[in-house]
Structure 1
């Protein structure tokens, strides 16, 4: 199995396909590297596509110390994958937990990003729900540790923003739920504790985000309630950001609506590579409704 070793000695499994401008796909908490298969197959026609299993997700290593899991470490791991493959710059695409890693990649390693695609990211960002999110994250961590992934996966997979996928594509959702059931009990629990429960809200990073001019596409499902407002916040805050909202769609965007996801991502990357994804025109004043002089 192809592996890259991070600076702290953690082995990460990766897969790649295709040639061309690189795209690095970063998976969500409920998925793994296989979650990007519809995108790996589609974009490998024109790009060098790379995906990897985050630490804590077999066949990558599963560190047993919670301090080996954090938002900063998640970004360092993404950079380590690029370094290990000799890639100077790539389009970075992340969903949910991977979307947060993508935002932080732009903040910590902007020189390595050709563009950022942030999909379904926002859980825990809303200040009014911040404490609830941290509490429920620790409860999810406890359930993975005590009940195990096989027992807890059916419950987690029917969350409020997952049932849309189940209703539209029962076979696809079943693959997602079955894959979740194979996750490492220890890795899932420590990832939830170390990364999810401790990451900062986007609102806490507003000043840094306003200075991040990397071309960015934010994608949100309109029934992914706790990602909608964070998505709008990113649109209003990032200088070169576009926002796409998928109708009647939940959290698992790239699997629930793969055709839409691939179409929007392909158009975004094409515009970036043509030099046509600019910062917002300063004449587009947010406070103006109609110009009168």
Structure 2
């Protein structure tokens, strides 16, 4: 099996297909590398596409202690895969947990990113929701360790921003739930504690966002409630960002509506590769509503 090794000795399993300008796909908490299959097939026709299992997600290593998991680790694991494959720059496409890693990659390693897709990002980001989110992280981790993955998957898969997927595509949802049940309970619990529960609020990253120049696409479903306000925040604060909202969609947008997801992301990457992605005109941020002053 192909593995990349991180600076702290963790082996990350990866797969790749295609040739051309590289795209790295970074998965969400409830998914794994398999969730990007429809994107690997689609974009692999024109690009070199890479996806990998995050630490804690077999066949990648599952470190035993939560201290081995953090937002910085998740971000630098993208870099470890790219370095192993001798990729200087890539488009980085992440969803949810992977979207947070993509954003932080742009903040910490901007010279290595051709562009960023920051999709489904916002859970626990709003200041008045942080305590609630962290309390739920503890509940999730406890459930994972006490009940195991199959029992956890039967509950977690039916969250308020995932039922849209079940209603739209029962067959795809069933596969998603089956694969979730196959994850490592220890790895998932440690990911919750070390990465999800301790990551900084997006609202504490505004200064860094304002300095970003990497072309960025913020993407969310319109029924992914925890991500709507944070998506607007990122659109407003990142000068190189655009915002796309997928109608009647929840959280798992790359699986729930892959055709629309691929079209939006593909158009974005094509503009970036053509050198046509704009940076916001400062005049668009006028304090005036109409541009007319009394």
TM-score > 0.5 by shorter chain: yes
Provide the C-alpha distance between the structure 1 equivalents of 2:64 and 2:291, rounded to a whole number of angstroms: 59
- C-alpha distance after superposition, 1:112-138 (max 9, x if no partner): 000000000100101111100000011
Asked if residue 163 in structure 1 is aligned to residue 126 in structure 2, the reply is no
Provide the C-alpha distance between the structure 2 equivalents of 1:188 and 1:292, rounded to a whole number of angstroms: 54
Q: How far does residue 288 in structure 1 lie from its aligned partner after superposition?
A: 2.9
Q: Which residue in the other structure is 2:94 paired with? A: 94
Paired residues in the alignment total 293
Q: How far does residue 38 in structure 1 lie from its aligned partner after superposition?
A: 0.7
Asked if residue 126 in structure 1 is aligned to residue 126 in structure 2, the reply is yes
Q: How far does residue 292 in structure 1 lie from its aligned partner after superposition?
A: 2.9
SS in 1 for 2:160: coil
Q: How far does residue 171 in structure 1 lie from its aligned partner after superposition?
A: 0.4
SS in 2 for 1:284: helix
Q: Which residue in the other structure is 1:190 paired with? A: 190
What pairs up with 1:245-256 in 2 under 5 angstroms?
A: 245-256=245-256
Asked if residue 258 in structure 1 is aligned to residue 258 in structure 2, the reply is yes
Q: Which residue in the other structure is 1:224 paired with? A: 224
Q: Which residue in the other structure is 2:238 paired with? A: 238
Provide the C-alpha distance between the structure 2 equivalents of 1:126 and 1:185, rounded to a whole number of angstroms: 28
Provide the C-alpha distance between the structure 2 equivalents of 1:205 and 1:291, rounded to a whole number of angstroms: 29
Q: Which residue in the other structure is 1:209 paired with? A: 209
Q: RMSD over aligned Cα, in angstroms?
A: 0.8
Q: How far does residue 284 in structure 1 lie from its aligned partner after superposition?
A: 1.3
Asked if residue 31 in structure 1 is aligned to residue 31 in structure 2, the reply is yes
- C-alpha distance after superposition, 1:67-117 (max 9, x if no partner): 100000011111000000000000000000000000100111111000000
Q: How far does residue 282 in structure 1 lie from its aligned partner after superposition?
A: 1.4
Provide the C-alpha distance between the structure 2 equivalents of 1:253 and 1:109, rounded to a whole number of angstroms: 26
Q: How far does residue 140 in structure 1 lie from its aligned partner after superposition?
A: 0.3
Q: Which residue in the other structure is 2:275 paired with? A: 275
Q: Which residue in the other structure is 2:148 paired with? A: 148
Which of structure 1's runs of 4+ aligned residues deviate more than 3 A?
A: none
SS in 2 for 1:249: coil
Q: Which residue in the other structure is 2:14 paired with? A: 14
Provide the C-alpha distance between the structure 2 equivalents of 1:55 and 1:130, rounded to a whole number of angstroms: 24
Q: How far does residue 286 in structure 1 lie from its aligned partner after superposition?
A: 4.6
Provide the C-alpha distance between the structure 2 equivalents of 1:20 and 1:109, rounded to a whole number of angstroms: 22
Provide the C-alpha distance between the structure 2 equivalents of 1:286 and 1:241, rounded to a whole number of angstroms: 17
Provide the C-alpha distance between the structure 2 equivalents of 1:285 and 1:71, rounded to a whole number of angstroms: 31
Q: How far does residue 285 in structure 1 lie from its aligned partner after superposition?
A: 2.5
Provide the C-alpha distance between the structure 1 equivalents of 2:286 and 2:143, rounded to a whole number of angstroms: 44
Q: How far does residue 220 in structure 1 lie from its aligned partner after superposition?
A: 0.6
- Unmatched segments (≥5 aa) in structure 1: none
TM-score, normalised via structure 1 length: 0.99
